[in-house]
Chains A and B, each alone.
Chain A
Amino acid sequence: MTAATSHVAAAELAALNKPRRDWRFWLGKTGIFLGMTFIILYCIAPFYWMVVSSLRLPTMGRDTSFWPNPVSFENYPAVFDPINGFGRALVNSVIVSLSTTLVTLLFGILAAYALARLRFRFKGIVLAIIIGCSMFPGITLLIPLFKMFTGAYPWMPINWMNTYQALIIPSLSFGLPLCVWNLTAFFRQLPVELEQAAMVDGCTPGQAFRKVILPLAAPGVFTTAIITFIAVWNEFMIALTFGTQQNMYTAVVAISKFTGAYGFDTPWGTIMAAGVLVTVPLIIGVLIFQRRIVAGLTAGGVK
């Protein structure tokens, strides 16, 4: 008797739990599907155009067919034509981005740990200074640095134009705040009880940081490294100002000054091929680590 009642009730419950699939449901579902399609098209279509344009014949740079006909890879060797110095520019970009990322991580980890965990006076001011730095217009800093690096100040007779330090040091001005900010958000997410437990077990705060927090924060540190690397890699104004000779161009500056190997007309095919070459490694990295990067990008803005 009781078993029968419960059986009926269960069947009824199952029926009630089953989502209603009326016209509203399908309308909503179609709407979401269309929306998702729109987002993907929106994001991918211009990039698709760049890839397609890079696969045309060098003579067909302005062609507007939606599929290259014939498909040609001739633009890619043309990118590395000696007159563009693109290979050297790629090496420069790697050197500048890697060293800036390493320096910012080294300083950033220490500062971010203090900001996320320790209690001290002026913390609000320090945080405000760091976030303020990432809001400054870069041009305000560039003008005096340009004057300084060209040796125009009598108290600083240096000529740093077209050197790596002139590309790296100004990059710290936006790389370091970005790094500290992201890492602070990551450190805050780790439960403070972990360190407290370690300290109860006899660790000093320093040991607790080294042996407990740092291994746990490794994914966050890695993500921050990627985000900082991409930011420096994509930076244009500093690289344009301090690398004025072709052998000191970074990849993005080289792309902005491309003349190309074929004729006097703008070599669109070559430029697009260079754009693909600069972007594809970033996109592959982003796709592999997309979860972490989304977490890293949103950690700063949302709690």
Chain B
Amino acid sequence: MSQGAATTIAGNTPPFTEKRKKNLLSDGQGTLAGFLISPTMLVILFVVGIPILLSLRESVFRKFTTPDPTTGMIPEGESFVGLQNFTDIFAHPQAVDGAWGNIDRLINSFLNVTFFTIICVAIETVIGVAMALIMARAFRGKGFVRAAILVPWAIPTIVSARMWGLIFDADGVMNKILGQQILWLADNSYSQWAVIIADTWKTAPFIGLLTLAGLQTIPSDVYEAARVDGANAWQQFVRITLPMVKPALVVAVLFRTLDTMRMFDLPWGMIGQGKYYVETISMFAYIENNQLRYGTAAAYSLVLFAYIVLVAFIFIRLLGADVIGDEETRAITEQRKRQKALAKAENRKIKLAKTTITSGEFQS
């Protein structure tokens, strides 16, 4: 059907198919784009692409640690060990005492990362959305609040870590306010909450800012219509505000989630290294790397990498986080979806679209 329509149009306007007029707006854009993008892609290849490949290579090698039986010396260099750097987590666990009992150090840090991420992001989202709702209704002092909200964002994480370190000191102001004698910075579950509080402080305002931007795109007549229909405040929040702010919120939460998963500075600067209650995978891999055990360090960092990719994938697939936000890309995806559905209905195979009808290229 669409094919027929196309041929009739083409038949009526022969010059269009035979000899296209040169289009200054779209012709040669690919070449120009390649020219403009290649420096950036080259830099990314060198500082991201190649290191990731090298990381994969490192993770299957290991330095010799046992003496050579013939010479009695530890030979220099590395040997290929396959997946042993990964499987040793289970075969030869390096048991430590953390919040999760006596388990392998990597599994311990993996659980820490999961725990921190879930708790931090949940608290940050609730506080951030609450902040955004308050700011959206403010009449006066908006500029002042916005300035205040940027303060935690601008403070370097290490400075914030030391700052909270002083606040959570055994003789510090937090214990004074609470009237308790809690050892927040020792290696115990209080230190986990100290890290969570410090992280929430720094990043909840950021979620608030992003949510506020999303809130401001909701037209006020939607709320007026809802009020006319007799919706109360809670119904308006659940049925209008949340669904309409969801795209912005999901992207903000995704970024925060991935950021929390690679947390390093805060526990490092506040509690210190080798504290198993707060040790994250980033910290553990860093420590291994400092001991020049590149193999295990790379293996652990790849575990984190895979974990992050998995979570990002879940976010994008299940929650529909539109991180790319490019209209043309979105249009192509939609078009392919339609084509697939159509092809499935007509039970035939088709070539999937590479460009959209708006691309300035004639669709055959």
Which chain A residues have a beta carbon within 8 Å of chain B's beta carbons?
28, 32, 35-36, 38-40, 42-44, 46-47, 49-50, 53, 62, 64, 107-108, 110-111, 113-115, 118-121, 123-124, 126-131, 133, 135-148, 152, 169-170, 172-173, 176-177, 180, 185, 196, 199, 205-206, 230, 233-234, 236-237, 241, 251-253, 255-256, 268, 271-272, 275, 278-279, 282-283, 285-287, 290, 293-294, 297-298, 301-303
Contacts and interface: CB of A to CB of B under 8 A. Distances in A.
Interface in B154-195: 154-164, 166-167, 169, 171-173, 176
Given A140-B304, A275-B159, A128 B154 contact: no
B73 interface: no
Nearest to B130: A35
Given A39-B145, A114-B37, A256 B268 contact: yes
Interface string B144-160: 11111111111111111
B33 A268 contact: no
Contacts of B33: 114, 118-120, 123
A interface, over-half SS? helix
A135 B301 contact: no
B201 A234 contact: no
A298 B210 contact: yes
B134 A110 contact: no
B201 A42 contact: yes
Given A127-B326, A135-B308, A290 B150 contact: yes
12 contacts: A28-B137, A40-B145, A40-B148, A118-B29, A135-B258, A137-B261, A139-B286, A275-B155, A283-B151, A283-B155, A290-B143, A290-B146
A189 to B, nearest CB: 12
A173 B167 contact: no
Given A120-B30, A275-B159, A297-B210, 5 more contacts: A124-B332, A139-B304, A199-B25, A287-B147, A294-B209
B32 to A, nearest CB: 6
B328 A118 contact: no
B141 interface: yes
Interface residues of B, number: 108
B123 interface: no
A237 B286 contact: yes
Interface stretch (B5-13, B14-22, B248-256): B248-256
B103 interface: no
B328 A143 contact: no
Contacts of A241: 286, 289
A256 B147 CA distance: 27
Nearest to B252: A301
B355 A119 contact: yes
User: What 4 A-B pairs have minimum CB-CB distances, sorted nearest first?
Assistant: A144-B54, A35-B134, A298-B213, A111-B40
B51 A301 contact: no
B44 A230 contact: no
Nearest to B163: A50
A275 B305 contact: no
A204 B302 CA distance: 46
Nearest to B325: A303
Interface of B: 24-26, 29-30, 32-34, 36-37, 39-41, 43-44, 47-48, 50-52, 54-55, 58, 130-131, 134-135, 137-139, 141, 143-164, 166-167, 169, 171-173, 176, 201, 205-206, 208-210, 212-214, 217, 247-248, 251-252, 255, 258, 261-262, 264-265, 268-269, 281-282, 285-286, 289, 294, 297-298, 301-302, 304-305, 308, 312, 323-326, 328-329, 332-333, 354-355, 359-360
A148 B54 contact: yes
B29 A119 contact: yes
Nearest to A170: B47
A280 to B, nearest CB: 10
A297 B150 CA distance: 11
Nearest to B307: A137
A50 B297 CA distance: 35
Contact of A294 (B137, B150, B262, B294): B150
A49 B168 CA distance: 12
A140 B40 contact: no
Given A46-B164, A137-B308, A290-B146, A236 B37 contact: no
A282 B264 contact: no
Contacts of B150: 283, 286-287, 290, 293-294
A121 B328 CA distance: 11
Contacts of A32: 134, 137-139
Task: Give the most central of B135, B264, B282, B301: most A CB within 10 Å.
Answer: B301
A45 B131 CA distance: 16
Contacts of A107: 39-40, 43
Contacts of A206: 32
Given A140-B52, A144-B51, A297 B264 contact: no
A271 B162 contact: yes
A108 B36 CA distance: 9
A301 B259 CA distance: 15
Contacts of B176: 64
Nearest to B214: A302
Given A32-B134, A143-B58, A148-B54, A115 B37 contact: yes
Given A46-B164, A119-B355, A128-B324, A278 B302 contact: no
Contacts of B265: 236-237
Nearest to B264: A237
Contacts of A234: 156-158
